[in-house]
Structures are given as structure tokens and as C-alpha cells.
Amino acid sequence: MRAVLFILKLGLKILAVPVVLALTLFTWLCFWLLYVSSFIFGLVSTVVALLGIAVLVTYSPQNGVILLVIAFLVSPLGLPMAAAWLVGGVVFAASCASVLAVALICVFLFANGVPAMKEIGFVKFITGEMWKPNNDIYGILPMIVGSIYVTAGAIIVGVPIGILTSVFMAMYCPKKIYRPLKAATELLAGIPSVVYGFFGLVVLVPAIRSVGRILWQMGLIKSPGNGNSMLTASLLLAMMILPTIIGVTESAIRAVPEHYYEGALALGATHERSIFRVVIPAAKSGVIAGIVLGIGRAIGETMAVIMVAGNQARMPAGILKGVRTLTANIVIEMGYATDLHREALIATGVVLFVFILIINFSVALLNRRGGRE
């Protein structure tokens, strides 16, 4: 047995010798080629640089500068430095373009919306309860309240379901059903808004209408409604924000170090207590980020809400009554709006933009306080 092993080792050494020799020769050849090429490029760049200096002094400054630039690029260090500058310039330009896009949006909104608020009256515009463009009456309080109610309903329904689903997928889900479940949640994120709207129109609206009739027959409510209501819009938006909350929250939970969970178990905590008292608080920033993204999706959604919310420009009278949101108001009337009416709709966009900023700043402040604690 030892003789066989000795023969095998000897055979491997004999076979390895030419391979190692070939790799060594190839390495030396590469170094030699690099040395020769750098020498040749350095020599050419020196000659071109001397020629450029001569042309710069005696003949044409413009042509001399061009030759000097060519000499720099031909030099061994010229192309890497130029590539680094080019990549840095592209990254800087992309960053400036992103900031410029946000700045242009802000300038457009405020330049067109603030004059309309001034002409209508800021207080009258924000607190007015009537929206009648034909009579030059512009009050967006019903749309503000409707947006808040619909978004709040979506958060109440969607956030707990999304967080619990992400906890199940990260900590409980068997491997056999994880992939289908993950694919299903990702598919929800790719469904167009109008498809959600059709689903709400065909499924949710009749269901809410039937529930309203049952409650009306029992004498619990005064009017059953027709199904196009605040409740329908909230349920539909809750479905739409689920993939965002689930994806971000699951990633945040999986990013928590494993020893947090193991340490909690070692101290005597149960599986559930370790998750909800240790893991989720450690992933708090990611969970909050998912909730904020979900709120942004809900408050900015338009097409699906238009199809199921009823779109009455009046103060909300109940969860089974129709409402109109800020985004729906803009989309419904922007196609035929002119003059002050159009500017009032842009001012509505300014209010929506300010709402999003307030939400983002509030969440950032909460995260900062949580980090200090």
C-alpha cells in the first residue's frame, strides 16, 4: 500500500514539474512584455512631448498643446489616470444629474403652485371644503382628509400582515415552500396598478357592497353604499404595499447577526420571544424603512384608487362612502384644466410633495432618536 502511494506521489510530482515550469515561463513572459511595452510607450511619449514643446514654442501653441496631451495619454501612466478621471467624472455627473432632477421638480412645483395658493388664499385653499373649479372655488381639505384616511387604512391592514409575513419567511418558513412564497411576493410587486384596480373593481367592490347591505339590513348603518368606498381603496392599497414591506423587512431581519438570536435562546427566551424581543428590535431601521416605502406607495397611488374609491370631492362621511384623494384629483381633472384651475392642481401636487417630505423627516428623526437610545 505504501509503495502504491509512493508511486502515485512520484507520478504527481513528475506531472507537476512541467506545469509549474510552464506557468513560471508564462509569468516571466508577461512581465517582460509589460516592461517592454511600458518602455516603448514611455519612449514614444517622450519623443511626442519634446515635439510638442518645440511646436508650442516655435510654431503653434494650439498644436503644441494637442501634442502634449497625446504624449500624456501615450505615456504608461496617462491612460490609467485618464480612465480614472473619466470614471470619476461620469459618477460625478450622474450624482449632479440626480440632484438636478430633484431640484428641477421642486422648482417647477413651487414656481407654478405657490402663485396659485397666493391668488386663492393659502388658508382658504388648504381648509376649504368645496372644490368647484367652474365657480373658481378651490378647497382641497376633502382630498387631504381622504388621502390621510385611505393611507391610514392601508397601513393598519397592510403593515401588520407584511411584517408578520416577513417574520414567517425569515424565521419559520420551510425551505420547500420558501421559493414559491418568495416568487409570489415578488410577483405582487410586478403587477401593474391598473390590474390591481380591475381586481378591486371586480372582487372587492361587490364584496364591500354586499357587506354594506348586510349591515344596513341589520340596522347598523344608515346607507349601504355602492362598494366604491374608502374601505375598498384602503384594502386594495394594503395589498399593493405588501411586497414592498415584506421584501425590505425580510432583508432587514436576515441582516441581523445570528448570535443575537442564539444569545437570546441561551438566556432562556423562547423562539417567539427571541424573534419579537431581540431580532425585530435589532432590525428596526430596516422595518421602518419598509413601512415608509409602503406609505409612499400608498399615498402616491392613483390609478387603482380612482377605479374603486368613488372619487366624490366631498368630506368623507364614512368608511363605506366614496372619497377622492389628492393624486386622484390631479389625474381626473388635469386633462382639461386651464389657467387657475391647472395651477390649483399643481398646488395640490405641492401639498402632496410636502406631505411626503414631512413623513420622511419624521421617520429620519425617529431613527436618529432610536439610534441614540
In tens digits, the chain (373 residues) has pLDDT values of 566 555 665 565 566 556 666 667 767 666 666 666 666 666 666 666 666 666 666 666 666 666 666 666 556 555 555 555 566 667 777 777 777 887 888 887 788 788 888 888 888 888 888 888 888 888 888 888 888 899 899 999 999 999 999 999 888 888 888 888 888 888 888 888 889 889 888 888 888 888 888 888 887 778 777 888 888 999 999 999 999 899 889 888 888 888 888 888 888 888 888 888 888 888 888 888 888 888 888 888 888 888 888 888 888 888 888 888 888 888 888 878 778 888 888 888 888 888 888 887 877 776 666 555 5
Domain assignment present for 318: yes
- Report if residue 296 sits inside a domain: yes
Q: C-alpha grid cell for residue 263?
A: 444569545
In 3D space, the residue among 182, 160, 187 whose CA is nearest the CA of residue 170 turns out to be: 182
Cβ-based neighbours of 184, under 8 Å, separated by 6 or more = none
User: Do 54 and 123 reside in the same domain of the chain?
Assistant: no
Question: Taking a C-beta distance cutoff of 8 angstroms, is the pair 310, 323 a contact?
Answer: yes
Give the per-residue pLDDT at 69.
63
The total number of structural domains in the chain stands at 2
Domain-located, residue 308: yes
Does residue 84 lie in a domain region?
A: no
Give the 3-state secondary structure of residue 132.
strand
Q: Which of 76, 95, 125 is the last residue of a domain?
A: 76
* Beta strands per DSSP E along 93-154: 131-132, 137-138
Assess whether 131 and 33 both reside in one domain: no
Q: Per the domain annotation, does 104 fall within a domain?
A: no
Helix/strand/coil for 137: strand
Residues in contact with 167: Cβ distance below 8 Å, sequence separation at least 6, in sequence order? 249, 253, 275, 276, 280
CATH number reported for the structural domain that contains residue 275 in this entry: 1.10.3720.10
Residues 71 and 129 in one domain: no
Domain presence at residue 97: no
Same domain for 313 and 165: yes
pLDDT at residue number 161: 92
Residue 323 DSSP class: B
**Residue at which a domain ends, from 76, 92, 127:** 76
Beta bridge partners, 137, equal: 132
Do both 180 and 51 map to the same domain?
A: no
**Are both 283 and 143 inside the same structural domain?**
yes
Same domain, 265 and 131: yes
Q: Side chain identity at 334, as an amino acid letter? A: M
CA–CA gap between residue 162 and residue 244 (Å, rounded): 8
Show the cell assigned to 34. Answer: 509589460
Whether residue 319 sits in one domain with residue 237: yes
Eight-state DSSP code of residue 135: G
CA distance 45 to 6: 58
Sequence-separated (6 or more) residues with CB below 8 Å from residue 127? 139, 141
The answer to the question of residue 131 being in a domain is yes
Question: What burial letters (b/e) apply to 93-105, b meaning 16+ CB within 10 Å?
Answer: eeeeeeeeeeeee
Q: What is the pLDDT of residue 71?
A: 61
| Whether residues 64 and 206 fall in one domain | no
The answer on 140 and 57 residing in a single domain is no
Q: Which of 24, 46, 76 is the last residue of a domain?
A: 76
Q: Are 125 and 139 in contact (CB under 8 A)?
A: yes
Full residue range of the structural domain in which residue 361 is found: 117-372
Task: Give the model's pLDDT for residue 291.
Answer: 87
Which set of grid coordinates corresponds to residue 64?
503644441
Burial class from Cβ neighbours inside 10 Å (0-12, 13-18, 19+) for residue 291 reads buried
Query: Is 108 part of a structural domain of the chain?
Result: no
Distance from C-alpha of 341 to C-alpha of 344, rounded to nearest angstrom: 5
**247 secondary structure, DSSP code:** H
Same domain (yes/no): 61, 137: no
Query: Of 292, 280, 328, 326, which Cα lies nearest the Cα of 308?
Result: 328
253/127 same-domain check:
yes
Distance between CA 272 and CA 242 in Å, rounded? Answer: 22
- Interior angle at CA 311, CA 310 and CA 315, nearest 5: 105
Q: Answer whether 139's CB lies under 8 Å from 124's CB.
A: yes
